């Protein structure tokens, strides 16, 4: 029985060693692809390493990095959070929280990014890069909060400008509207004058005709009258 126990122990030890080699192989291949910026292919290799050892901190962390490079912040955060839930080493915890902060920055969730960077500094307060990213996240959050107010002010200014333009346009139209009755009166007066002139011309024409008739009668009356009849 003792020899069988030793054999089983050696067999399990050899399986563990084989699995560890397979895991390391996929991680190395993933790292090489990552350096070549082939992030999708690197993700595949890291996932293969996790099929061998689901608890591999290096496989989980590097998988998160490859997802971050593919601009998949939500999936990357899920990987990094596994590290924060199991890892005991302060430096690795700081790196995981730092990358969580970067992923939240990529997703433009600046409030959560700030909290993540603070956690990273708790585990490594000397990390200047995390401190810089924290300041950047705080500035971005402030800008994001001020943006709706700036947009509202801009909208109010545009409305005021539009109202002012409408008022100026109305003021320009008013003199034209006020002049319209005067123009109509002038037009009517012009028409009345034309009619009066026409009537006056007609009267003068009639008077001339009457005067001519009177002259003709006067001439006829001054001539001698004939007594005989014409044949």
Domain of 118 in residue numbering reads as 90-144
227 φψ region: left (φ > 0), alpha (ψ -120 to 50), beta (else): alpha
Is the domain of 64 the same as that of 102? no
Asked if residue 58 has pLDDT above 60, the reply is: yes
- Examine residue 185 and state whether it is found in any structural domain, yes or no: no
- Domain boundary at 106, 121, 144, which? 144
Per-residue confidence (pLDDT) for residue 171, from 0 to 100: 65
Is residue 209, in this structure, part of any structural domain at all? no
DSSP 3-state percent helix, strand, coil across the chain (nearest 5):
85, 0, 15
Q: Which residue matches tokens 């990987």?
A: 79
pLDDT at 210: 52
Q: What is the pTM of this model?
A: 0.61
SS3 181: helix
Task: Determine the pLDDT at residue 219.
Answer: 52
Lowest average pLDDT, out of 62-66, 117-121, 144-148, goes to: 144-148
Q: What is the DSSP string of 89-133?
A: -HHHHHHHHHHHHHHHHHTT-HHHHHHHHHHHHHH-TT-HHHHHH
CATH number of the domain at 19, please: 1.25.40.10
Contact 59, 75 (CB under 8 A): no
Contact 56, 72 (CB under 8 A): no
140 by Cβ neighbours in 10 Å (0-12 / 13-18 / 19+) ranks as middle
SS3 label, residue 199: helix
- Between 149 and 200, the more confident residue is 149
Domain stops at, among 23, 39, 70: 70
Domains held by the chain: number: 2
Higher pLDDT, residue 17 or 102: 102
Cα–Cα distance between 11 and 155 in angstroms, integer?
75
Q: Does residue 197 fall inside a structural domain?
A: no
Lowest mean pLDDT among 47-51, 152-156, 217-221: 217-221
pLDDT tens per residue across span 65-77: 999 999 999 999 9
Which residues touch 195 (CB under 8 Å, ≥6 apart)?
none
What are the tens digits of pLDDT across the range 166-204? 766 766 665 554 444 555 555 555 556 676 677 667 666
Task: Please give the pLDDT value at position 208.
Answer: 65
State whether 56 and 21 are in the same domain: yes
Does residue 224 belong to any structural domain of this protein? Answer: no
In a domain, 226, yes or no: no
Q: Is residue 139 domain-shared with residue 94, that is, in the same domain?
A: yes
């Amino acid at each position: 029985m003792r020899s069988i126990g030793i054999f089983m122990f050696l067999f399990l030890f050899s399986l563990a060693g084989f699995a560890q080699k397979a895991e390391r192989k996929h991680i190395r291949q993933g790292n090489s692809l990552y350096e070549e910026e082939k992030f999708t292919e690197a993700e595949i290799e890291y996932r293969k390493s996790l099929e061998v050892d689901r608890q591999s901190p290096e496989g989980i962390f590097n998988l998160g990095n490859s997802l971050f490079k593919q601009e998949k912040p939500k999936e990357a955060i899920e990987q990094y959070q596994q590290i924060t839930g199991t890892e005991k080493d302060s430096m690795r915890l700081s790196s995981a929280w730092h990358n969580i902060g970067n992923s939240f920055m990529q997703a433009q969730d600046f409030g959560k990014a700030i909290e993540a960077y603070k956690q990273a500094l708790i585990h490594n307060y000397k990390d200047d890069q995390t401190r810089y990213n924290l300041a950047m996240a705080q500035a971005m959050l402030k800008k994001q909060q001020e943006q709706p107010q700036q947009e509202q002010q801009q909208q109010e200014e545009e409305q005021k400008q539009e109202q002012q333009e409408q008022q100026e346009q109305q003021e320009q139209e008013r003199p034209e509207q006020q002049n319209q009755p005067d123009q109509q009166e002038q037009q009517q007066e012009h028409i009345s004058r034309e009619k009066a002139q026409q009537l006056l011309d007609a009267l003068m024409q009639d008077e001339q005709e009457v005067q001519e008739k009177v002259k003709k009668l006067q001439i006829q009356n001054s001539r001698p009258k004939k007594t005989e009849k014409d044949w």
